[in-house]
Structure 1
């Protein structure tokens, strides 16, 4: 199933720090399409705020479900074309990777995360979100890890970023969902996205 040919729905995915919001803004300025997104990926408000990296398992699920609902509402309320900064796929791939490996994994500790019902639920929601992506987005753009994070205290490790980037590709490829990788300057990324025409699915 494909979106109608006159509808342009661009989903931008990629790891923290890879420029999703910057590209979404540049594409919006170039095309006039609105940008839709979710609220900041943090749990709680004010003095009760918990950073993403310090969330418990229950808080992670609650946060992911909240952002899933926000994104779904924003996208279905857009009445046609839009640019999705992150997309419905993003949080579930992050959550699944976090459950499988924790946020600061090393090659020696890979796979030593959570098992059981929580992992099965996250895997099921990854299926739901990628099926939604297949039937909704006209273009899916993956921003790869080009440069290391420059944060003084990065919320994730470079190894986790590699795992997350590989996770996006694995889930897209496994479902035969076309996507384009783009890198370089913002202008080069915009041109690549606009020039790329994904194959029509039957």
Structure 2
């Protein structure tokens, strides 16, 4: 790793489907700064709740997934910092917390069908105060960690519609609100997120110049390798989800719709 990459703990920030993973992976390959190797939400889903889909998950299950993701991020960040002195993070510890608080405003399963969303809202009415209290406490922990651990926040705003691949169980309203709250949360703890737009190539060039990083590979080659790596990983995880999933019976559907 180059000396210019030392002591950099970079977050590529943004909400669902803004190109965080491709940008982060390609930036890591282009600069040699390690990308933290935390499990994705999809991978955690297949481990914690095999056979389930995001849109069917209850508030309790979503909180468990968020906590597991937080654990994975912390472990990966500590390992990268210990071994290399720096890292590039695909998202941050704030993401799962913000995703949870926004779900409390727009609905637990914003990407599911209308009857499912209505039933969740009705059934979850009495549980909502507790969940909000839990998320408030969760926020204290993740904000303290983010303030202490990160050095640079690169934010990718929403520039295009969500990728309709079936693995982003949220709505456009959810995306816009979570995008705003992610930025505001970083500002609240003293960061000034640097906005980066455009193609992946333009993003990488802008980020490398802004952070004064050194390239160890051409941007075009780094993007090609990143896209190949991401494609292989997602195909593997998607296949695992397909193999695990079974269509719920009518009885199971009613139970899922009325379980908070």
Gaps of 5+ in 2: 112-117, 212-260
Cα deviation for residue 195 of structure 1 reads: 2.9
2:66 to 37, 54, 64: 64
Distance 1:128 1:50, change over 3 A: same
Q: Is the 8 A contact 1:14 1:86 kept in 2?
A: yes
TM-score (norm 2): 0.65
Give 3-state SS (helix, strand or coil) of 1:164's partner: helix
Q: 1:163 aligned to 2:157?
A: no
Gaps of 5+ in 1: 198-202
Q: Is the 8 A contact 1:180 1:196 kept in 2?
A: no
Cα deviation for residue 147 of structure 1 reads: 0.4
CA distance, structure 2, for counterparts of residue 47 and residue 93 of structure 1: 22
Aligned-residue RMSD, C-alpha: 2.6
Q: 1:18 aligned to 2:32?
A: no
Please show how residues 101-180 of structure 1 align to structure 2 within 5 Å. Answer: 101-102=106-107, 103-104=109-110, 115-151=128-164, 153=166, 155-180=169-194
Q: 1:9 aligned to 2:9?
A: yes
Q: Is the 8 A contact 1:9 1:82 kept in 2?
A: yes
Q: How many residues align?
A: 189
Q: Is the 8 A contact 2:147 2:190 kept in 1?
A: no
Give the aligned partner of residue 185 of structure 1: 199
Q: 1:92 aligned to 2:94?
A: no
Larger radius of gyration: 2
Q: Which ranges of 4 or more aligned residues in structure 1 deviate by more than 4 Å?
A: 44-47
Distance 1:36 1:181, change over 3 A: same
TM-score (norm 1): 0.83
Give the aligned partner of residue 36 of structure 2: 36
CA distance, structure 1, for counterparts of residue 9 and residue 71 of structure 2: 18
- Larger relative contact order, structure 1 or 2 (CA cutoff 8 Å, min sep 6): 2
